[in-house]
Chain A
Amino acid sequence: MFVALMVAGGLALSFGLILGYASVRFRVEGNPVVDQLDELLPQTQCGKCTYPGCRPYAEAIVNEDAPINLCSPGGESTMLNIAQLLDREPLPMDEVVQEEKHRLAVINEDLCIGCTLCIQACPVDAILGASKLMHTVIAQECTGCELCLPPCPVDCIDMVEVPMTPSSWSWPSPEQSPNLINGTSVEESTTS
């Protein structure tokens, strides 16, 4: 009896030590779920979800139980991915977001007065300029979040659609497009 107690107690103690050591040694920094969520979000940092960026929104979903249908640039596919990751019920998107074409902010250089307000508003530091000098948008870095539009006192920033060129064009799905090779549309039969 005593031996059995000693053995059980010894085992409990040794496992406890191992677990205690492991929790220090293999400690996970931060919340991995937030990282995974952040991975799913489009990183436009636009704040349309009412949180000041994609990571804050991910944190809010995890910690404050924020609704998962707030990301309008990500659209329905992002919402479904989040729902799948967190095993939550998918929610309908608030506004119907069409597959929007990628748009970039362009500063009208004749109107810009060099006030630096847009530079401060840009969440990804994609606007270059200095006080009383003309500003310009670094096109490769612009996420099209539109956060620079409201602060501009002279309304010199426009969102411009990126024109399609043969090099940026990609093959459409044969499901939804006319068959280019045959010149007829592909009619998939409806049998399952």
Chain B
Amino acid sequence: MSHHLPPLWKFHGGVHLEKCANLTHTQIVPAALPEKLTVPLSQHLGEPATPIVQVGDKVLKGQVIAQCLECSEDTVTARIHAPTSGVITGIAALPVPHPSALSAPCIIIEPDGKEQWITLNPVKTCVNLTSEELRRTIAQSGIVGLGGAGFPSHLKINPGDIQTLILNGAECEPYITCDDCLMRERAEQVVIGTRILAHALGGVKRCIIAIEDNKPEAIAAIKAVLDSDDGKYQISTEQLDVISVPARYPMGGERQLIRVLTGHALPRSNLPRDFGIVVHNVGTAAAIYQAVKIGKPLISRVVTITGDGVNTRQNMEVLLGTPMSDLLAQCDVKTDVSGLIMGGPMMGLALPSASLPIIKTTNCLIASAQTAIDTVTPAMPCIRCGACEQVCPAELLPQQLYWYAKANDFDKVQRYNLFECIECGCCAYVCPSQIPLVQYYRYAKAAVRTRDAEKLQAERARERFEFRSFRLEREKAERKARHQQKRNALKKPVAGAKNVVTDKQAAIAAAQARVKAKKAAKPDKTDD
């Protein structure tokens, strides 16, 4: 690994954040089996899955319990598996971790404690598998991007046009350490998962595992695996590098990472794929290793439980569907916890209660004690200092966007490229007036989407109304034409009476002739 690495680039803006709340345990601890698992049917982007089990069914650990029916291979959706063996006790709408705090359909499983697996079909040698087969295996294992967005991973395996595979181990938000711990403890899984991905993508020239420079242990662990394996796990001829990137928020943003590693500044209209790049999270790579090499579908993930509301801050291997309150209890939660955030402090989601389940995209839970919340001051007026523009990694004008979003001027927000905003929260973080800028952008984005959808609906309604009017006109004209024809038919005898009479007489004569012929023919036949 002594070859020369190309220099790194820089992205605009960003902020330097201190690594907060050191862990009390650095090892990944398996969480206890809860009394009840609530598995939401939509833990990923795209179409929710449909249950294929019924209440009362017994399921095995790893059994498919929900999948999108009537979906093609390219539909954005993911399968859901039973996280443990047990009985389905209900399929109902229950609160899920979502900003709306609304309920969504979930499958409730009561574990039997036996942890009985389905028959696992591990793949010994991946070389023999085509990328199509690997893609199917990954799709069947229900793997989605574990970095936070939850985009189904198999859809990012498009062989042929990818030259660079980037493994995102940047994990730039403070507090979150699940990827860091995963890379330290399961470096081999990450490396093999990366190799499998590279093989599935076919034609990848370069693999990069990008890790922020504040995680030296993780970098060392991955490098150790790469040095010791000596290409043992190498499937194809790609070159695999570990690159340490500067710790600057939001380094873990897909586009920011691509910018730093390759120099490409991707506009929103382009996917990384258009530049021959694809980015996967390191946790996803480990999940792909589990799915292919061991045969286990995605039924658990590593979650960081931290914040000053818990006495034991640690990373836990958690079954999907485990109630958050169970985890907090296992982490020695303090009594005065007032807020719970899913995700990091910058982009995380404040949760209304701790009874919600862990889902595929839950990377971190931050429990905050009473004191931290009380210090929040109300927003002050914007003083146009421009600090937000200095830190925006998407190179937008957050202040202008704020004014236009506030004034509901949705044409202007689009002209100022609102949809390039990655909602990283840098602008709100540096805002001296503490304006909740990201919320304005989220609101404006939602309003624009709603407006566009309504426009589309109105357009369809107009088309249908116009077609109906046209149809009614046409029917009227047709009816008129029919009446005219009938009237003409009645009129005809008067005009050419003779003609008609002769026609009729001819017809009668012909019929009589036919009958005669028949009669003449019949006796002959009976005689024979």
Contacts and interface: CB of A to CB of B under 8 A. Distances in A.
A54 B436 contact: no
Contacts of A123: 465, 468
B492 interface: no
Interface string B94-111: 001011101010000000
A182 B376 contact: yes
B350 A181 contact: yes
A180 B102 CA distance: 14
22 contacts: A44-B461, A45-B461, A55-B465, A123-B465, A126-B464, A141-B461, A164-B100, A166-B104, A167-B48, A170-B450, A174-B436, A174-B440, A179-B439, A181-B350, A182-B373, A183-B339, A183-B373, A183-B376, A184-B378, A186-B436, A187-B378, A188-B381
A191 B445 CA distance: 27
A43 B458 contact: yes
B442 interface: yes
Interface in A98-135: 123-126
B461 A124 contact: yes
B419 to A, nearest CB: 14
Contacts of B381: 188-189, 191
Contacts of B100: 164, 166, 169
Contact of B439 (A45, A126, A174): A174
Interface string B408-448: 00000000000000000000000000001001101101110
Given A55-B466, A141-B461, A186-B378, 14 more contacts: A43-B459, A53-B465, A125-B467, A125-B468, A166-B100, A169-B100, A169-B102, A171-B99, A174-B436, A174-B439, A175-B406, A179-B436, A183-B376, A188-B381
Main secondary structure of the interface of B (DSSP, over half): helix
Interface in B265-287: none
B42 interface: yes
Nearest to B339: A183
B380 interface: yes
Contacts of B465: 43, 45, 53-55, 123-124
B462 interface: yes
B474 to A, nearest CB: 14
Query: Ordered nearest first, which 8 A-B pairs have the shortest CB separation?
Result: A170-B446, A169-B100, A43-B458, A124-B464, A171-B442, A43-B461, A174-B439, A187-B378
A181 B441 CA distance: 14
Given A125-B467, A166-B100, A181-B436, A171 B445 contact: yes
Interface centre among A54, A55, A170, A179 (most CB of B within 10 A): A170
Tier of interface size on chain B: 35 or more
Nearest to B437: A174
B379 interface: yes
A112 B442 CA distance: 44
Contact of A173 (B96, B443, B461): B443
A109 to B, nearest CB: 23
A171 B446 contact: yes
B460 interface: yes
B379 A186 contact: yes
A54 B380 CA distance: 44
B449 interface: yes
A19 B337 CA distance: 79
A172 interface: yes
A77 to B, nearest CB: 10
A32 B459 CA distance: 17
Interface residues of A, number: 36
Nearest to B446: A170
Main secondary structure of the interface of A (DSSP, over half): loop
A125 B469 CA distance: 10
A38 interface: yes
A143 interface: yes
Nearest to A179: B436
Nearest to B462: A43
Contacts of A181: 350, 436, 439
A188 B104 contact: no
A42 B378 contact: no
B229 to A, nearest CB: 43
A63 interface: no
A42 to B, nearest CB: 6
A170 B104 contact: no
Contacts of B378: 184, 186-187
Contact of A165 (B99, B104, B350, B442): B104
Nearest to A123: B465
A48 to B, nearest CB: 15
Interface string A153-167: 000000000001111
A171 B443 contact: yes
Nearest to B468: A125
A180 B462 contact: no
Given A166-B104, A186-B379, A180 B350 contact: yes
Contacts of B96: 166
A141 B465 CA distance: 11
Contacts of B458: 42-43
Interface string B28-68: 00000000000000100000100000000000000000000
Contact of A187 (B379, B447, B464): B379
B136 to A, nearest CB: 27
B464 A166 contact: no
Contacts of A143: 457, 461
A125 B439 contact: no
Contacts of B443: 171-174
A182 B406 CA distance: 19
Contacts of B48: 167
A86 B454 CA distance: 23
Nearest to A174: B439
Interface centre among B439, B443, B450, B460 (most CB of A within 10 A): B439
B439 A38 contact: no
A152 B406 CA distance: 45
B322 to A, nearest CB: 20
Contact of A164 (B102, B379, B445, B459): B102
A179 B380 CA distance: 14
Interface in B182-215: none
Given A187-B378, A188-B379, A188-B381, A166 B102 contact: yes
Interface string B68-98: 0000000000000000000000000000101
